[in-house]
Amino acid sequence: MHQSEVLGKAMRILIIGAGYVGLSMGVILAEKHDVLLLEMDPSKVESINKGQSPIFEDKIAELLQNAIQSGRLKAQSPEGPLGYRDVVMVCVGTPSREDGSVNLSYVDDAMKLLFERVDEFCDNYTAVGIKSTVPPGTTKTLVLDKIEKGHFTDRLGAFFNPEFLREGTAIEDAKNPDRIIIGASNEKAASLVQRMYMESLGNKADNILTMSLESGELCKYVSNSFLATKISFANEIANITERIPGADFDSVVKGMAADSRICGKFFGSGAGYGGSCFPKDVSGLIMLAKNDLNVATHILQAAQRVNAERPQRILDFLKEHVSDIKGKKIAVLGIAFKPGTDDIRESPALKVMKQLSDNGANVWAHDPLLSRMEISEDIKNQINLTESINECLKNSDACILMTEWKEYIDMGLEAITDTMSNKLLIDGRRAFVNRDIPSGITYRAIGRPN
């Protein structure tokens, strides 16, 4: 049957893992398709089925409520009935091990579940694939090889479909993708995944690129690693700019980006990258190259080193003005690794706060989404966490801005420093760099000469 002949028909989608990626994709696909989410955490299952999102993400609450009310989306535990499905996507976590390599145990568990229940979800032909970020060769090993070993080639096809969702704008990114990449074992599997997106996104799914499984897997790693490298490059240039009186980082970047060969996006300097993707994916690619391919990764390792140095750069700024921070109250504004999310994984703010505490500072921290954050007991024992920004700032000897939340920017420098004992603000995100600095306030920013 030709692709155009089946467009307009809802498909049956199974998503394993109702975390950040799985739930975001689930609510969008449920606008056109029948979606079942499998989730191990009973509290998440209950929350989703009540129309309450367990994750913080712009626009997801309304989409989830609509999907549940329409009956097109449902969450359940893995033990429940699967029903026949056209496409199955695995969206479970692939965390880093201590050495930086990728832990694939959750993907492996999901695949074991599926291949034990093929007859339950496959009535004709089903595309089974991975959306989690995995090293090249994983989909072949964990999906395609099992299809061939089980003699399911006439019933199942393998695919890899990477996600390119930015936390805070995941829904917008999913609805308006720059590109959709489908690595597939055959044309039939690719066609099913392509149809799923074309039906869901319409003409916004124009830029669909099909390729091999391994190319799709590598493309995800390379994309995130390149963006991380751009950030580290920008931070290294910011270090140089800080030492040149009269130089302006924004002007330098603007002049550079005017070259048609250079894209100016992601050249922002600051306290470094964090979150669930960039640190993990850079490490994953480095370890793959080292352990499996015997390939040197000088640029990637340099990008990693530059990023690891950023928290110390913030402390260097502080110590230029407060020589001995022992016993001093230091206020930290923002714990999330970026605004618009409650994600604190690999957040530079956590690293800065730890170094402050290790140096004997009395650290107070505020974040607009503090109540939603999963903060370890170690951090809670070291840091004074407060939901009151006034309590955080009052009588502080310095303030370090680590997340450029709109709440902080709207306050302005005068309001932020009003009750501080020492009106010193270290801007780790350049949020106020283009504003006039009121007299009496000492302002230091990444990439800005003193």
State the alpha helices, DSSP H only, in 163-277. 170-175, 187-201, 213-242, 249-257
State the alpha helices, DSSP H only, in 50-104. 60-70
Q: Is 91 a catalytic residue?
A: no
Q: Classify 440 as helix, strand or coil.
A: coil
**Contact, 137 vs 214, CB < 8 A?**
yes
- Residue 15 is encoded by which pair of tokens? 């998503």
> What's the rounded Cα separation, in Å, for the pair 77 and 40?
6
State the alpha helices, DSSP H only, in 322-394. 348-358, 377-382, 389-393
> What's the rounded Cα separation, in Å, for the pair 388 and 83?
49
> What's the rounded Cα separation, in Å, for the pair 104 and 107?
5
> What's the rounded Cα separation, in Å, for the pair 96 and 131?
17
Q: Which amino acid, 205?
A: A
The kind and range of the H/E element at 210 are strand 208-211
- In eight-state DSSP terms, residue 166 is P
Give me the catalytic one of 219, 277, 392, 399: 277
Which residues does 361 contact at the CB level (< 8 Å), separation at least 6? Answer: 325, 326, 327, 328, 329, 330
How many other C-beta atoms are found inside a 10 Å radius of the C-beta of residue 47? 18
CA distances to 2, 4, 51, 345, 368 from 339, rounded to whole Å, are 44, 41, 24, 13, 9
Which residues does 89 contact at the CB level (< 8 Å), separation at least 6? Answer: 13, 14, 15, 16, 22, 25, 129, 130, 131, 161
How many other C-beta atoms are found inside a 10 Å radius of the C-beta of residue 298? 7
Angle (nearest 5°) at CA 34 between 93 and 128: 45
> What's the rounded Cα separation, in Å, for the pair 128 and 145?
12
> What's the rounded Cα separation, in Å, for the pair 417 and 385?
19
Q: In what order do the strands lie in the sheet with 362-366?
A: 384-385, 362-366, 329-333, 398-401, 424-427, 442-445
CA distances to 18, 39, 47, 145 from 54, rounded to whole Å, are 9, 12, 6, 35
Angle (nearest 5°) at CA 144 between 94 and 93: 10
The kind and range of the H/E element at 19 are none
As annotated, the active-site residues are 277
